[in-house]
A = this chain, B = another copy of it.
Amino acid sequence: MIKVSVMYPNTPGARFDHEYYRDKHMPLVKARLGDGCKFYTVDKGLAGGAPGTPATYVGMCPIYADSVEAFQKGFGPHAKEIMGDISNYTDLSPVIQISEVVVGQ
């Protein structure tokens, strides 16, 4: 299992519509990716690790897939539509990383 982590830096003044992200964008991603997305979760940044510090990311979304190939196969044909929806909820550019899930739930 692999995880594609999409992380939006918590930048002062930036726009991020958590409701749109939860209710519109991520369901769109799941619908389009099909088997390329086994499941996903959505996190809303609350705080940093030290008292009084801000969260590093305003929003984080790990997308789980059987393999990098499965994810890419699902994402590729719909990349334009999915990427085109980003401006509807944010003006931020996400940090993206692919990880191996060493310990799953």
Residues from chain B with Cβ under 8 Å of A60 in the complex: 5, 99
- Interface residue? A104 (CB, 8 A): yes
Q: Which residues of B contact A95 (CB under 8 A)?
A: 49, 56
Q: Is the CB of B42 within 8 A of A98?
A: no
* Residues of chain A in range 64-105 having any CB-CB distance to chain B below 8 Å: 68, 94-105
Q: Tally A residues with Cβ within 8 Å of B.
A: 38
The residue from B26, B47, B68, B103 contacting A103, defined by CB atoms under 8 A apart: B26
Cβ–Cβ contact A97 & B44, under 8 A: no
- 1/0 per residue, CB under 8 A from B, across A1-29: the answer is 01111010000000000100010001000
Query: Are the C-beta atoms of B103 and A22 separated by less than 8 Å?
Result: yes
